[in-house]
Structure 1
Amino acid sequence: MESLLLRTVPGLAEQWRGASPSTIEKVERIAGRPLPPFYRWFLGHMGQSMGPLAYPTLDFSAERVLACYAQALVKPDPRFLLIAYESDEMMPLHLFYDFKAPVRNDAMVTSREARGKELTDAFETLREMLAWGALSLFRIDRAPHTCSGSLKGDTPDFLMNLDPVMSSLGFDQPIPTGPFCRLYERPDAVMVCMGTPRAGTGNRRAFDLGGNNPGSLRRILGELASARVVEIQMKKQA
C-alpha cells in the first residue's frame, strides 16, 4: 500500500504526517478494542495530514476523531468507530468503521449521520477506499483518454475471473482486494472496479479505465469481452 501511494500521489512523501503513538492509543481506547492493523498503519503515516491525498470535505485526522468524541458529537459504540468527519452541512454523512465486518486486517467503511442508524456502505476496507481514490484521482482522471461503464458476471465474486486476463495484458494488482473491488495498473493504463458492499448490487460492478492511447483501451475491453468472463456495458468515453 505504501509503495502504491508513494508512486501514485505526487508530493505525498513530503507532505503526509502521522499521528503520535499516544494519540493513536487514545483512539484505540475509544474503540474499546485493538485497532485494525491497517488503520494503525494509516494513523501512523497520515493520522495528522494526508497531504495531497486529503479529501475535500472529509477529515480523517486522529485529532478530529478525538474531538468529535470529546464534544459528544459521536458516542462510543462497540460496533462503530468514527474515522472521518464530514464537514458538508448539507449531507453530513461521516465515515465509520463497522467492526461487525472485519476483513483482511481492516474493516468495512460505512457512512451515516453522527447519531443516525441508517448505514450507507462505502468500501469493504479503508485500504481499498484509499487505493481506489488515489488511482482514480491521480491516474485515471489525469489520463488523456478514459471510459467507464459496468461489468456483470455470473457470481458475486466474478471479478476474480478478470485477473488472468488483465495479467496477460501486463497489468499488476497493487494491493489485495475482495469481491467488490479490483485495481489494475500498468505504466500506460489503469482500471478500477468497484461495487458497494451489502447494497444488493448483485453481480454488477462499476468500472473506470484510463490510459494514454484509445486503441489500448479498446483492446483491453475487447480482450475482456472475448474471454467472456464479464458482460460489459459502456457508459461514457472521453
Structure 2
Amino acid sequence: MEDFLLRVVPGLAEQWRGSTPEEIGQIEVLAGRPLPPFYRWFLSRMGQSMGPLTYQRLDLSARRVLTSYAEELIVPHSRFLFIGHDSDERMPLHLFYDLDSPERADARVTRRYAEGGERYEQFETFRELLAYGALLNFRIGKLPQVCKALIRGNDPDILSHLDPVMDSLGFTRPVPTGPCCGLYERHDAAMVCNKVPRNRPEAVMVFKLAGNDPGTLRRIMGEISTASSLKIKVSEWTPPLE
C-alpha cells in the first residue's frame, strides 16, 4: 500500500505527516480495543497530514478524531470508532470503523450522522477506500477518456471472473482487495470497480475505466464481455463521444 501511494500520488512523501505515538494511544483508548493494524499504519504516516491525498470535505486527522470526542460531538461506542469528520453542513455523514467487522488486518468503514441512525456502508476496509480514491484521482482522473459502466454476472463474485481477463490484458492489481473492490493498472489505462459490502452481495459492480482514447476502452470492455460471462452496460463517457 505504501509503495503504491508513493508511486501514484506526486509529492506525497514530502508532504505527509504522521501522528505521535501519544495520539495513536489516545485513539486506541477510545476504541476500547487494539486498533486495526492498517489504521495504526495510516495514523503513523498520515495522522497529521495526508498531503495531496487530503479529502475536500473529510478530515481524517488524529487531532480531529480526538477533538470530536473531547467536545462530545461523538459519543464513544464499543463497536463504532469515529475516524473522519464530514464538513458538509446539510448532510454531515461522518466516517466510522465498524470494529465488529474486521477484515484483512483492517475493518469495514461506514458513514452515518454523529448521533447515530442509518448507516451507509462504504468499503470492506479503510485500505480499499484510500487506494480506490488514490487510483481514481491520480490515474483515472489524469487520463483523457473515461467510461463509467455497470458490470453484471451470474453470481455475486464478479472479481473471480474479471481478474483473469484483466490479467490477460496486462493489467496489474497494485493493492490486494476483497470481493467488493477491484483496482487495475496498465501503462495506458486504469480501472476501479466497487459495490457496497452487504451480507447478501449483489451480482453487479460499478466501474470506471480510463485510457488514452475510446478505442482502447472499447477493446478492453470487448475482451471482458467475450472472454467471460460478465455483461457490461455503459452509462457515461467523459468527455461525451460524438
* TM-score normalised by length of structure 2: 0.96
Which residue of structure 2 aligns with residue 185 of structure 1? 185
Q: After the TM superposition, which residues 78-97 of structure 1 pair with which residues of structure 2 at under 5 Å, given as runs?
A: 78-97=78-97
Amino-acid identity (%):
57
Which residue of structure 2 aligns with residue 159 of structure 1? 159
Q: Deviations over 1:185-222 (max 9, x none)?
A: 01111010010112866111000000123222111101
Q: After the TM superposition, which residues 1-238 of structure 1 pair with which residues of structure 2 at under 5 Å, given as runs?
A: 1-198=1-198, 202-238=202-238
Contact kept in structure 2, 1:162 and 1:229, CA below 8 Å: no
AA aligned to 1:63 is R
TM-aligned CA deviation for residue 141 of structure 1 = 1.4
Give the distance between the partners of 1:96 and 1:235, measured in 2 at CA. Answer: 31
- Runs of 4+ with deviation above 6 angstroms: none
TM-aligned CA deviation for residue 4 of structure 1 = 1.0
Contact kept in structure 2, 1:121 and 1:199, CA below 8 Å: no
Give the distance between the partners of 2:214 and 2:201, measured in 1 at CA. Answer: 29
The two structures, once aligned, show a CA RMSD in angstroms of 1.2
TM-aligned CA deviation for residue 117 of structure 1 = 2.3
Runs of at least 5 residues in structure 2 that lack an aligned partner in the other structure: none
Give the secondary structure class of the aligned counterpart of 2:185: strand
Q: Deviations over 1:76-119 (max 9, x none)?
A: 11100000011111111100000121100011110000012210
Give the distance between the partners of 2:161 and 2:47, measured in 1 at CA. Answer: 36
Contact kept in structure 1, 2:158 and 2:205, CA below 8 Å: no
Give the secondary structure class of the aligned counterpart of 1:118: strand
Contact kept in structure 1, 2:156 and 2:201, CA below 8 Å: no
